[in-house]
Structure 1
């Protein structure tokens, strides 16, 4: 059975709505936390699929989080080998760093449900399922588009909301997995971050309840299509 590994930087940012399409695509579902003792030594080339999730830390905060350097090295090895890899939010930033791009604070904190704008390439990719759908954004960092990457999506404040390289690498700055996960309540506890983004927990909770199910449905459709087109390493 194919093996999918979810890399978590914090316990409340897991696969969420993505778990169902991953399992439906025939993957045995596993997770590893960056705080786990085995994380520094695990083999990044071993899983058939790696999904790198988000987290509240910045990729450039390497002194505070010494595991970041090892994760970037591991991702670089996996990407160079062409192994299927998906990054979400901080995961997308780590992928960008692994490809040699700079990651840095963006112009504003982008927090809340809002649609993305697809590029021409995005409309001809699995992201087409997300067109016109309000999705959760929760970030204040951005990155330069890596060499050879195909830009898929943008918003008014962030031009690099998603990119891919070939069929096996997909990086998303937003959170199409979120909208029905009860752990969202823990996200809402970061009052200072939410306030700095110009919104409030009451608004975010109401939008989550109103828009979340449609966001997750679109995110699952996107992921199912992306997984279906991955190269078959079992031929």
Structure 2
């Protein structure tokens, strides 16, 4: 029987990225649902072998403007309660944190661009050991931060974001940064997020493009290793 991965997508250009080929190599069929367009209706949160919760430029606390966030949070909460594999990235990690009762709020300022993460002792023994330190900067693109959910283990931090990554057992991983994003596909981000780029001091399309070209080759290799290690631990 073919195993399945369901990706919850919020904007079209923030897709599975590096996750897609890693899943394909493992014989895991990837499908997407468009959450803002009512894609969760009638879906069983426990049905897929893996749930991916991808990014987006809104806050988990904006339910008045985006009422479907409440449904999505409940969907993720049910999945986590069943201890089924979940990987959340950026907004996805924040939704996981909210589903587990942790506070999510705006940070001191936006964190956009390529920069390293600092691993905790637990992080050094986790799949993120493949993307540690100055050798492998990762792409940051968020303005919100979250507290560490109860029962979770903090894996990484940056000066602006104390909880850059957390795990729950071996089945759930939340990443504030974009381990899945690199290379030419980021040109779509530079268009889709142009307003945010122009409004953030010290950030430019030219700078992001140059750093993307510089760091993508290493991140693509090391990111695949990190993702593969998580999938191994989650039994996928």
Q: After TM superposition, is the score higher than 0.5?
A: yes
C-alpha distance after superposition, 1:141-188 (max 9, x if no partner): 011110011000000111000000101010000001111252x22321
Contact map agreement 2:165 2:176 (CA 8 A) in 1: yes
Question: For the residues of structure 1 that align with 2:166 and 2:71, how far apart are their CA atoms?
Answer: 23
Unaligned ranges ≥5, structure 2: none
**Is it true that 1:155 corresponds to 2:161 in the alignment?**
no
Q: CA deviation at 1:74?
A: 0.7
Aligned pairs for 1:53-202 (under 5 A) are: 53-132=54-133, 133-182=136-185, 184-189=186-191, 190-198=193-201, 199-202=203-206
Contact map agreement 1:59 1:90 (CA 8 A) in 2: yes
Aligned pairs for 1:213-224 (under 5 A) are: 213-224=217-228
C-alpha distance after superposition, 1:5-44 (max 9, x if no partner): 1110110100011111112122111111113444233111
C-alpha distance after superposition, 1:60-92 (max 9, x if no partner): 111111110001001110000010000000000
Contact map agreement 1:113 1:207 (CA 8 A) in 2: yes
TM-score, structure 2 normalization? 0.94
Contact map agreement 1:4 1:49 (CA 8 A) in 2: yes
Match of 1:229 in 2: 233
Could you say what secondary structure the match of 1:203 adopts? helix
Question: For the residues of structure 2 that align with 1:63 and 1:35, how far apart are their CA atoms?
Answer: 14
Could you say what secondary structure the match of 1:32 adopts? strand
Question: For the residues of structure 1 that align with 2:17 and 2:127, how far apart are their CA atoms?
Answer: 19
Unaligned ranges ≥5, structure 1: none
Question: For the residues of structure 2 that align with 1:195 and 1:112, how far apart are their CA atoms?
Answer: 13
TM-score, structure 1 normalization? 0.94
